[in-house]
Amino acid sequence: MTKHITIPKNFMTIFIVTFFMSNALAKTLLPPNDIADRFHNDSETIKIASSDFGHIVQEIPAAVFYPNSVDDIASLVKYAYNNSVPINVAARGQAHSTWGQSLARDGVVVNMTSLGNRLNGSGIIVSSDSSLGSYADVGGEQLWIDVLNTTLQYGLSPVSWVDYLYLTVGGTLSNAGISGQSFRFGPQISNVYELDVITGKGEFVTCSPKENSELYYAVLGGLGQFGIITRARIALEPAPKRVKWLRLFYSDFSAFTKDQENLISKNERRDNKALNYLEGMLLLNQGPQDLSFYPVSAYARINSLVTQYGIIYCLEAAKYYYDDRESRVEKELLDLLKGNLGFLPDFMFEKDVTYMEFLNRVRSSELFLRSKGQWEVPHPWLNLFVPESRILDFNSGVLKNIILKQKIPAGIVLIYPMNRNK
C-alpha cells in the first residue's frame, strides 16, 4: 500500500563491474579523441558530482562527462566496456538517488542534462498517429516539468506522474514513476510506447513491446542496470483545465485505509466520473508543518488536532475537469465521497486550482523546506509495497511504536493504496 520499491545500491549505474580504477589510473587511460574534450575534472565539477540528493554518502569520481550527443554517450560506454581496466560509469540526471546510486567512485559520471536541446530544438516532440493516438518523444535528460509545459501547449498531458516534476524522464523510467495516478493508469513505465537505449556495450538500440522487447522490459524499471535511456515515447491524453483538490483528516488509521481502498475500487481507467488522483500522508507532531494548502483560519485547529493525536492521517484526492462546468464536478465529487467515509467532521479542505498548479504542488513544499534549511540535508528514504493484510501492523509497529513513541525525526511519510493489476 505504500510507495515504490526498495532501491538497491547500484541504481542508475550502467553496468556492474568488479573493480574500481583509482583517480591516478583514470588519468593515464586516454579516451577516444572524438570525446576527449568532454571530460572535466576541475574541483567544483568533481565536488558536485560526488554527492546526490540523499547527502548520506560521498563517492568521488575521476571525471564528469558532458556529452553533446547520444553518440558521445555510446562512445564513452563502448570505451569503458572494451577497456582492459573496468571503469565504473553512472548516468546522472538530477541525482535524486538517496544512497549514492547516481555516483561513480573513481569512475565517470555522465551529466545527462548537458545533452540540452537536441530534439527539434526543444528535446520534446509531440505527435500523433492512428495506432497510438497522441504521444511525445522526449529526451531522457528532459525534466518532467518541461514535458508538461510543452504538451500543455497542445492541450495534452502524460497520464501518469511522479509527485516531484523536477526529475529527468530517464531517471524516473529507470525506477518506476509512481504517484497518486498509478492506481488508475499504472506507473509511468506502464505508459511508454518506445525507448532509445545505450546498452552496457555502448550499442544504440531502439526497443518497444514488439521490437527488442527483452531490452524494453528490462530497462523500464530496471534501476539503470541495462542501459541509459536517451529517448522515450510517452503516451498522452487530453489535458484537464482545472482540478478539485481535497484533503480529509483521520485520527483512525483503519478508517483511513478503508476509505482509500473503497475509493480506488470505484475507479476504472476510462470512467471520467472517477477520482483522478489519490494519495495519503501523515501530519506529525514533530516540528514545522507546511500548512500552505489550508486556510489561515484553520492553522490553529490543525495544530491542536495534531498535538492531540500525535499522528493525523490525511487522505488527499483530486478530480479533474475539462470544461468550465464546476458545478458538475462538485456533484461528481459528492457522489464519490458520500456514504460512510470515516474522516473527522469539520476537517475536509478543498481547493480549486489549475492543472499545472496541482501537478507542480511539491514545488511549494520544496521552497518551504528550503526556507527552513531542510532541503540540502541528508535524505534517508525508504519505499515499500506493503500488502493490504499487513498494513495495520505496519501502522502500529512502525508509525506508532517507532516514529511516534520513540520520537524519531521524520520528514514526508506517504501512504496510499494501489491496484495490484496496475
Interstrand relation of 63-65 and 108-111 (parallel, antiparallel or unpaired): parallel
What are 282's three cell numbers?
Answer: 501523515
Interstrand relation of 124-129 and 133-139 (parallel, antiparallel or unpaired): antiparallel
What are 21's three cell numbers?
Answer: 580504477
What are 247's three cell numbers?
Answer: 484533503
CB 228 within 8 A of CB 197: yes
Element (H, E) at 300: helix 299-309
Q: From CA 422, how far away is CA 417, in angstroms rounded?
A: 11
Question: CA-based Rg of the chain, rounded to a whole angstrom?
Answer: 23
Nearest to 146 by CA among 360, 332, 340, 351: 360
Q: Residue 130 is which amino acid?
A: S
Nearest to 97 by CA among 54, 144, 56: 54
| 96 catalytically annotated | yes
CB 294 within 8 A of CB 283: no
> Cell 563491474 appears where?
17
Among the listed residues 72, 106, 141, 279, the single catalytic one is 279
Q: Half-sphere exposure of 105 toward its Cβ, with a 13 Å CA cutoff?
A: 13
Burial class (CB in 10 A: 0-12, 13-18, 19+), 396: exposed
What are 138's three cell numbers?
Answer: 522526449
Among the listed residues 55, 163, 203, 332, the single catalytic one is 163
End-to-end CA distance of the chain: 13
Residue 303 CB partners (closer than 8 Å, separation 6+): 289
Among the listed residues 4, 52, 96, 137, the single catalytic one is 96
Compute CA distances 380 → 342, 372, 388, whole Å: 32, 18, 25
| 279 catalytically annotated | yes
Q: What is the SS3 assignment for 4?
A: coil
The catalytic residues are 96, 163, 279
